Amino acid sequence: MDTEFKIIEEPDLDDPILIEGLPGIGNVGRIAAEYMIKHLDAKKFAELYSPHFMPIVLIDDDEVSLLKFEFYYWKNDNGNDVIFLIGDSQAGKEGSRGHFEVSESVLDLAKRFGVKRILTLGGYSTGDLGDEMEEGPEVLGAVTHKEMIDEFDEFNINFEDTGSNIGMIVGGTGLLLGMAKKRDMDGLCLMGETAGFPILTDPMSAESIVEIVSDIFNMDIPLDDMDEKVKEMEDFLEKLEGLQKKSMKQMDYGDDGDDEKLRYIG
Amino acid sequence: MDTEFKIIEEPDLDDPILIEGLPGIGNVGRIAAEYMIKHLDAKKFAELYSPHFMPIVLIDDDEVSLLKFEFYYWKNDNGNDVIFLIGDSQAGKEGSRGHFEVSESVLDLAKRFGVKRILTLGGYSTGDLGDEMEEGPEVLGAVTHKEMIDEFDEFNINFEDTGSNIGMIVGGTGLLLGMAKKRDMDGLCLMGETAGFPILTDPMSAESIVEIVSDIFNMDIPLDDMDEKVKEMEDFLEKLEGLQKKSMKQMDYGDDGDDEKLRYIG
Amino acid sequence: MDTEFKIIEEPDLDDPILIEGLPGIGNVGRIAAEYMIKHLDAKKFAELYSPHFMPIVLIDDDEVSLLKFEFYYWKNDNGNDVIFLIGDSQAGKEGSRGHFEVSESVLDLAKRFGVKRILTLGGYSTGDLGDEMEEGPEVLGAVTHKEMIDEFDEFNINFEDTGSNIGMIVGGTGLLLGMAKKRDMDGLCLMGETAGFPILTDPMSAESIVEIVSDIFNMDIPLDDMDEKVKEMEDFLEKLEGLQKKSMKQMDYGDDGDDEKLRYIG
Amino acid sequence: MDTEFKIIEEPDLDDPILIEGLPGIGNVGRIAAEYMIKHLDAKKFAELYSPHFMPIVLIDDDEVSLLKFEFYYWKNDNGNDVIFLIGDSQAGKEGSRGHFEVSESVLDLAKRFGVKRILTLGGYSTGDLGDEMEEGPEVLGAVTHKEMIDEFDEFNINFEDTGSNIGMIVGGTGLLLGMAKKRDMDGLCLMGETAGFPILTDPMSAESIVEIVSDIFNMDIPLDDMDEKVKEMEDFLEKLEGLQKKSMKQMDYGDDGDDEKLRYIG
């Protein structure tokens, strides 16, 4: 089994932008993307399965299912339709090849539907509850080509401090940008500030992201009911994270000091 | 060397069901499946070898042999013949790709013999010796398609608590279901409650599983001599588990604090 | 780069037997095989290179060279020529696939030269300096097909206790047997008792092995100068083992508690 | 995605030599190579990308980019043009296959441009600040074919002590030599002595290397401004090393004792 797609529908899209939100720091990207999908009533048209996800099935809503990525589309009026990508998990839980292989597959699908620009969403951790938080979480930006910075000048994105503050982007959120650049697409990454580790899922940071994305693409997404809607996503994502950690622990046997480990495998 | 089959016989099977039992929690699935194979005198028709098993050979019954999966068939009268799958080991001892690759191979073989439904058997750990144990171990169920729950309504399977109690299934027992679903087969997983860690192999839990499977498929399997018959399987499985742990320890060198490790390799 | 051969010569061999000796417990197999190669003046005809060896080059005799396996042939008078396989290292230092892939390649080469039987040589550790040592190290045997035990009845090999005492053979020495069996070859493994861990390389155990192999194949190998000849092999093998451990330590970075690690890489 | 090249220009080169400098001990090789590239104004003509690098993108100079190797050429007058290879990182951060695969790709490119000899540059650690340091760092040499030692006799390279002092070369700097030898190229490795671990980047050691390389190839490179020029490379390399360590730490989850880890992924 290689990384593979299940195509549900072949939508006809106008100059689409890919917007990615995978689980990660504060689950900022994933929550932001899923909130937009729900609000815009975007339609699922494809799924991606990969042996680079954890070898587990989730039991949810009375059925088992493999971990997967999901692609949704939304027909916009402004000339740029949108493909949203959300996932149960980052790929590559067991090695960097997974990140590369799955990101390459995502870009293959993107190219097939005519995508020339991608937008990846994530979080970055400041590690403290600083003063800036009073004015809401800041959003850092990074681009594939520096000329793009001017293009997004009017939005509330801090491009100046990204290099010095974080210096790199780890996992799918970064690789998609880097690999898009190599394939002559361009891309933008938005990273919402999250206060620190005790907060697992950070809706406020996701809200800052949604606000900017909605402005850029004229999505007209109200944020007043976001807190509430995020609650259910949060429960699912925290369950998912807990299960993946548990399963990673269960598969990490070989350490004979801990006989319990081997006993967990199904 | 890729994952590969050694086909011993090509049986002609009527609408067969695949029943899987691999080593795992309490060895519940493996013991249940092997007990049925022995009682029904099912016939071995194929073996599966894979580089995703441990790089060891067992010395058993005066001969060396690679770790393997074994497939047995049993001609049933009720319109559904049965293919049993048992294994010396879970695949993927060293990474999740192994679980995916071997599960895919199993489903390839299943498809070739016309399997449309699979039944996977395992255990789940409650972590304690609760009161429920007085009425025998409970059996939790999970399905690929929720409509199937009604179909198995008459048997003593708890589907309600599976999602909330365990939430996921790790390894081959889960992946076979998830991947079957992706390939348009359907599937059921039965997981027998085991009391906890001090018990390595749990015949009582396996008995609960055998009872239900026997009912579903009209196998007419008496359970009165199960304790005794399980004894020899138990010895083999515990030896196997011990050897795999030992070999994993032996191969885990690189830690120069433990000079003994390198010295074990053959 | 895949596992690949460099064929130096294509010898014409009569019904050859492959005799393998890789580094391992007490380096028994490797020393025994190399001693026979030197004494019989066997001729190198092939090398095997693989990305499953450590990513290092040795600097030896003023030149750098990759880790490799070496194949030598010896024309025997008794109808069975011999191919010797020795190696700088076990394959699969980083995962079991390496063991399988390299063993498969070795058998491919063996088949190409008409090998139908293989003999693998190793050591097993008793963990103590018991009384049996007074009569010299015992040699345990294991076979691919139990009928073979009678065939080797006349030699001083203990087949009875192999299953119960060690139960498995780890790495190339075992896999070559198991995979040969799957490919319809047959095989014998001889494992020399070594006293325990403080002894790194065990010439006495290797001597017991050489004695039996010499008997089986009428090699007429005197053992009186073995101690001396083994000395130089021992130095090389211990250097090799030290370097591999050191390099494994150097490559195991990622643990930021130990800043030295990253600094070692060339 | 496999290891792949982005060819920017196809220079016409006369009997070129490949000179490699990757990050490593004291960053000696990388700094030496980059200093020569800058001083000679060598021109970039190719990049190499690989899934064996870390799955991160750097944010540098306001843009994101994947980790990569870079190839530069310099037209020399003495009959041997030069290809320089520098990289952001060693390949194979997660396993030895990466080192082999990327080194093989480098040699493919080298062959395509007619390279018959390679020169790899690195450092070796003495672990102390010995007296020899008073006369500047010593440079050890290793060759693929011992006849080459005479050829480099006139330069200040110590070939005698390489085997006994270090015995092996780890990673790309060594593998490139070993694999070149297997492909019938020849090669030389120069390793500059560095004092020990507290010094992260060692310009003095790099200077010793540059001096010798400049002599060998008549590059006429003055060393008086090297300290200053090295400063900026040093900053970038130390940032890079810090980011890679941080990202490796972030990806190493599964250890549920450290809940912070999972939270970092973008």
Quick one: average pLDDT of D196-209?
81
B183, amino acid identity = R
How many of the other CB atoms lie within 10 Å of CB of D228? 9
What ipTM was estimated for this complex? 0.88
How far apart CA A128 and CA A106 sit, in angstroms, is 34
Q: How far apart are CA D262 and CA D253, in angstroms?
A: 6
Helix (H) / strand (E) element for C7: namely: strand C4-7
Alpha-carbon distance of C157 to C141, in angstroms, equals 6
C-beta separation of C209 from C28 below 8 A:
yes
What's the number of domains chain A is made of? Answer: 1
Q: Is residue C252 included in any domain, yes or no?
A: no
pLDDT, tens digit, for every residue of B17-54? 999 999 988 899 999 999 999 999 999 999 999 999 99
What letter represents residue B180's amino acid?
A: A
**Is position A217 within any domain?**
yes
- Give the C-alpha distances (Å, rounded to integers) separating C71 from A245, C58, C102, C183, C226: 46, 19, 14, 20, 21
Buried b / exposed e over B162-197, threshold 16 CB at 10 Å, is: bbeebbbbbbbbbbbbbbbbbeebbbbbbbbbbbeb
Nearest CA among C89, C118, C117, C126 for reference residue C204? C126
Is A163 contained in some domain? yes
As given in the structure block, the two tokens for residue B216 are: 């579903």
- List, for residues C76-100, the tens digit of each pLDDT value: 988 899 999 999 998 876 677 889 9
Which two three-digit tokens encode residue B258?
């433990």
Q: Which amino acid is at B147?
A: E
Q: Is residue C114 part of a domain?
A: yes
Is D53 touching A (CB cutoff 8 A)?
A: yes
DSSP three-state, residue B222: coil
Q: Do C168 and B63 touch (CB under 8 A)?
A: no
Considering the domain boundaries, does residue A200 fall inside one? yes
Neighbours of B161 (CB within 10 A): 11
Domain that holds residue A53: 4-225
Answer for the pair B119, B108: CB distance below 8 angstroms, yes or no: no
B168 → closest Cβ in A57, A254, A262: A57
Domain assignment present for D131 = yes
Cβ of residue D143 closer than 8 Å to a chain C Cβ: yes
Between CA D92 and CA B155 the distance in angstroms is: 53
What is the C-alpha radius of gyration for chain D, rounded to an integer number of angstroms?
18
Alpha-carbon dihedral sign for residues D173, D176, D177, D179: positive
A37, A257, A260, B1, D2 from A112: Cα distances, Å: 21, 50, 47, 34, 20
Give the number of beta-carbon pairs within 8 Å between A and D. Answer: 132
Question: Which of A170, A186, A194, A264 should one mutate to test binding to chain D, selecting the residue with the greatest count of D CBs within 10 A?
Answer: A170
pLDDT in tens, chain A (266 residues): 789 999 999 999 999 999 999 998 889 999 999 999 999 999 999 999 999 999 999 998 889 999 999 999 999 988 899 999 999 998 876 677 889 999 999 999 999 999 999 999 999 987 655 555 556 789 999 999 999 999 999 999 999 988 888 889 989 999 999 999 999 999 999 999 987 655 678 888 999 999 999 999 999 998 887 877 788 888 888 888 888 877 776 665 433 334 343 333 44
Beta strand ranges found along A136-220 (DSSP E): 139-143, 168-170, 186-194
How are beta strands D186-194 and D117-125 bridged, if at all?
Answer: parallel
Closest approach of chain B CAs to the CA of A93, in angstroms? 9
Angle at CA B87, nearest 5°, toward B86 and B91?
130
Q: Which residue has the tokens 């007058």?
A: D77
Q: Is C175's CB within 8 Å of B57's CB?
A: yes
Q: Residue D188: inside a domain, yes or no?
A: yes
Q: Which pair of structure tokens corresponds to residue A11?
A: 């939508």
pTM confidence score: 0.90
Structure tokens at D149: 């030692």
CATH number at residue C151: 3.40.50.10900
Q: Is residue C249 part of a domain?
A: no
Measured CA to CA, the distance from residue C236 to residue C88 in angstroms comes to 9
Contacts of B65 in chain C (CB under 8 A): 178, 181
Phi-psi region of A213 (alpha: psi -120 to 50; beta: other; left: phi over 0): alpha
